[in-house]
């Protein structure tokens, strides 16, 4: 199995940089970016298997970023993360997202979701 390439977008650098390192240990190559604008730009230059996106971002919001990425790269699954707790039910999940994880993230679940997303793709 070729190595997966994931793009992490969150304005908490401490969080994403750590996540990147931890994902490396689990044979997932990850790149992190701090803003939605940077993510959209990077996606145009490079291909990623999965995008993990925080809903609350400075500048362009998470939802807006997701909309643009979905439009430009409909094949790339997006997993959302948020500090706003878990969803009450499935319908509340923003349209187009593959899944939704509350902060703090359980890394094992994130890895599992990433693999599921790629498998579905």
Partner 1 sequence: MAEHEEKIKFNIENEILPTPLVMPRYRKLKRLSIIITSLVALIPLFIVTLLNYYQDQEAYHAETRYTISRLLSNTQKTLEYAIKERRSALSLIIHERTYEELNSQESLKTALSNLKESFGGFVDIGLIESSGLQTHYLGPYDLRGKNYQEQDWFKEILVRNVFVSDVFMGHRNIPHFVIAFKHEKPNGDFYVIRTTIDMDLLYRLIYDLDLDKNTDAFIINREGLLQTPSLFYGNILDKVKISVPEHFRQREVIDEYHEDGMWLTTGYVYIEESPFILVVIKQRENPFFHWFYRRTGLIWFLLLSAGLILAVVIYGSTHTVKRLRELDKRRVKIFHNMEYTNKMATIGRMAAGVAHEINNPLAIINEKAGLLKDLVLHTENCPNQDKFLKLADSITGSVERCSKVTHRLLGFAKRMEDNIEMVDLKSLLEEVVGFQNTEIAHRNLKVNFAFDGNLPTIESDRGQLQQVFLNIINNAFAAVDDGGQIDISTAPCADREVAVTITDNGSGIPEENLQNIFEPFYSTKGQFGTGLGLSITRDIIDKLGGKIEVESQIGKGTSFIVKLPCHSKRVAFQEKI
State yes or no: residue 18 binds partner 1 (CB under 8 A).
yes
If we measure between CA atoms, which residue out of 110, 48, 97, 95 comes closest to residue 73?
48
Q: With respect to partner 1, which residue has the nearer C-beta, 84 or 95? A: 84
Q: Minimal distance in Å, beta carbon 110 to partner 1?
A: 10
Which positions from 21 through 50 interact with partner 1, judged by CB under 8 A?
Answer: 21-22, 25
Radius of gyration in angstroms for the set of CA atoms belonging to the chain, rounded to a whole number = 13
If we measure between CA atoms, which residue out of 89, 82, 45, 85 comes closest to residue 61?
82
If we measure between CA atoms, which residue out of 73, 33, 71 comes closest to residue 53?
33
State yes or no: residue 90 binds partner 1 (CB under 8 A).
no
The residues binding partner 1 (CB under 8 A) are: 12, 14-15, 18-19, 21-22, 25, 56, 83-86, 88-89, 102-105, 107
């Amino acid at each position: 199995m070729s190595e997966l390439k994931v793009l992490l977008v969150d304005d908490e650098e401490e969080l994403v940089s750590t996540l990147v390192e931890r994902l490396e240990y689990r044979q997932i190559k990850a790149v992190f970016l701090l803003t939605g604008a940077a993510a959209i730009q990077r996606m145009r230059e490079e291909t990623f298997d999965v995008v993990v996106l925080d809903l609350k971002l400075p500048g362009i919001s998470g939802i807006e970023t997701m909309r643009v990425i979905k439009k430009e790269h409909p094949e790339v699954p997006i997993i959302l993360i948020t500090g706003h707790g878990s969803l009450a039910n499935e319908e509340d999940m923003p349209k187009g997202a593959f899944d939704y994880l509350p902060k703090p993230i359980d890394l094992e679940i994130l890895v599992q979701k990433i693999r599921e997303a790629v498998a579905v793709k």
